[in-house]
Amino acid sequence: REDAVTRLMIMGFDRDYCVLETIKSAVEQEIEVVTSEVLMLTTKIRDTSIARDYFRKNTTYLESLVEVYNYLDPQGKLAFIP
C-alpha cells in the first residue's frame, strides 16, 4: 500500500505452499494477482488441483506461456532476440 501496488504477477516455487500462501495474502489485501501455473514449480509428485482451483477462482489466471507473453506485451512490441 505504501508503494501504491495494486497488481502483482506472481511466480515461483513451491506452488502448493509458498506461492499459494503469497497469492492468498495478496488477494486478502485486495491486490490484483496475475499468475500462471507454467511459471511455478512444485515438489508434488501427483497433480493437485487445490492450488490451481484457487488461482483460477481468485486471480487473473493465464493458462499458457503464450497468454503470459500476450498479457505482458499486448501491443506486440517486444521482440525475441535469438
Q: What is the pLDDT along the chain (82 residues), one digit of tens a residue?
A: 678 888 999 989 988 888 999 999 999 999 999 999 888 888 876 667 788 899 999 999 999 988 888 888 888 777 665 5
Q: Provide φ and ψ at 7, rounded to 5°.
A: -145, 135
Helices (H), the chain: 20-28, 50-58, 65-72
How large is the C-alpha radius of gyration of the chain? 14
Count of Cβ atoms closer than 10 Å to residue 29 Cβ: 11
- Give CA–CA dist 82/80, Å, rounded: 6
SS3 of residue 63 by DSSP: coil
Contact status, residue 40 vs residue 13, Cβ threshold 8 Å:
yes
What is the pTM for the complete model shown?
Answer: 0.79
